[in-house]
Structure 1
């Protein structure tokens, strides 16, 4: 039986209310060096103005967290929001939230939070908010995610006919580095994994502009993996796609 529980995750996330938010932070003390490294890696997100705001809000020297970091700090599994979607054992439609167990991870593209029960969510919402408690019906969430390595206390099961379950990738994993212009069955492997990570793609074996865009978005979401956002699928990106 897992030592990780839905109630434990919910309790942890709720206890971090008020923690400052900084992009890429995983419940660590924010330093100037970290801010500069994130600016170098993600200059359009962690801008000069963004860093200045963190300084103005006196976040440097304090523990900061981002949305997926609020979850990984409890689970000790460093997964970005796209990886969490990809690795979920089950995806529950948002319309079923009243039947969810405490500790379900709430997801929308690019963002995650933790369901606390009674219609409430703990989320690291952004640099202007930090960790806050919000109403689930106001969050524009898409799914609830559950994981095989977390134990949940379920009182009212969700109808299995509306749940999407994770299945194995039916295509052969690439042995070459894939990039725009590549074609073949191994491109289908990549496209399948990107679809599993929540990106809308046609699995056609043709690495075109849509696959390139989805791959770059995935690479950017995996901040802790420190992937180059270059649109190339090599060993490091494949590892991140498969991470659990």
Structure 2
């Protein structure tokens, strides 16, 4: 039983309304603060994890998306949120990427599921989990914070391989690839993907450097605009090409014999340079100003990693404020020949640009060569007719096509005008496109990394329809190209000189 003194103190306390108001206010503030901290920490943890696992899923997502018609895509934002919430901390469920991805597509795997409840239902059935309505709502809310549209990094490798090593043409194509990938700008970056953890790392590393411009608001802008995409700073765009392994796509710091030097240091080490007014029409020259550098691609145009808000852009040489040009140390400047130039080709004469033309190589009759220069007949790895099949390790009577070797993501062009009748997946052909040219004629393009044509689309000769790959029964990157007449496969070489 309480003492009389304690009872009296308690009575006074209970009747002191102002004291109770203070106590209640403190309790409410403590509750709100703890809730905010827990909520923000949880959101930050899950969201950062989502940014990191985007790379974990990217290859498989791209394989699925390449099969879907009409440009449909897996709901990757929901995928990352589900993985972060349900799988990342569950040791029994880790490593279940393929099974989880199957929950995001129809049973025949030809279309993505668009209804989130259908996805959750498949997850429950597949993994024996219970995802109630409240949890579903929380995960969908979390998905809004996730990155989307992770880019296939194979695009950075397109048209790079060269027997001459690192060249000015390879540099130009790398810059064009980075531009096409929608790459962002991050101070100190040389090809890293934009994730919040990478941005925070760069922010901490350059916290005393005002030129980095990595304030919290700028970091948030970069993330919201470029999350999941490659990033570069101005000199990093050049160094990434110098350091990239053209077989694997790995960019390894200070590799391939190239050191880490800044824009000003690179200009100082250049043996050939001059005032910008005297710049020759040589593709792949670097153009400079104090503290900034870009790559001249010819025809009065420059590709540069310009800043947080612009990212990697193509600009006019005359409007850039450039003061000097130089040949980059360690880069081989090709002097003659025809070379890939993005989706076109460039003809060099004495190192200068003679002409830039369309990407197809002229054929004979009604068909044009389906790959850009230099991937012509010299690049054929297998002809039509009897052959030893490198995939099955058996002889076969008729190949019925030519195989043309080319790097992954080399563009594939329609060989003639026509209508796309098939754009799908086949266990042997992999990703392939078939075009009907009328009067019994058709062409087929197999083993693509990614298809760019859809069924019913009318295409003209030279239109982009996909990219070289090694899907299906394939032992390396190449295009399997068929010409058919009334469904009989003919030797395509008879149509080309």
**Which TM-score band (shorter chain)?**
0.5 to 0.7
Corresponding position: 1:64 with 2:231: yes
Deviations 1:154-174 (A, max 9, x none): 55799xxxxxxxxxxxxxxxx
Please point out which of 90, 106, 120 is paired with 2:301: 120
Question: How far did 1:153 drift?
Answer: 3.7
Deviations 1:82-117 (A, max 9, x none): 2222222222210012x2411001111111111101
Please point out which of 289, 303, 316 is paired with 1:135: 316
Corresponding position: 1:54 with 2:235: no
Deviations 1:117-159 (A, max 9, x none): 111111111111111111101000011121342122455799x
- The gaps in structure 1 that reach 5 residues or longer are 159-244
Question: How far did 1:37 drift?
Answer: 2.5
Moved more, 32-41 or 18-27: 32-41
Please point out which of 7, 12, 16 is paired with 2:178: 16
For 2:204 and 2:197, the matched residues in 1 are separated by 11
- Quick one: structure 1 residues 28 and 157, their matched pair in 2 at CA, closer, same or farther if it must change by over 3 Å? closer
* Structure with bigger RCO (C-alpha 8 Å, 6+ apart): 1
- Runs (4 or more) in structure 1 with deviation over 6 Å come to none
Counterparts of 1:43-122 in structure 2, within 5 Å, are 43=207, 44=210, 45-57=213-225, 59-76=226-243, 77=258, 78-97=260-279, 99-122=280-303
Please point out which of 158, 166, 169 is paired with 1:4: 166
Question: How far did 1:79 drift?
Answer: 2.9
Question: How far did 1:52 drift?
Answer: 1.5
Is 1:2–1:149's contact at 8 Å kept on the other side of the alignment? Answer: no
For 2:172 and 2:228, the matched residues in 1 are separated by 26
Aligned residues: 156
Q: Which residue of the partner structure matches residue 28 of structure 1? A: 192
- The gaps in structure 2 that reach 5 residues or longer are 1-162, 244-257, 336-348, 353-497
Structure having the higher strand fraction is 2
For 2:313 and 2:171, the matched residues in 1 are separated by 15
Which protein is bigger by CA-based radius of gyration?
2
TM-score after normalising by structure 1: 0.58
The Cα RMSD (Å) is 2.2
TM-score after normalising by structure 2: 0.30
Query: Secondary structure of 2:185's partner?
Result: coil
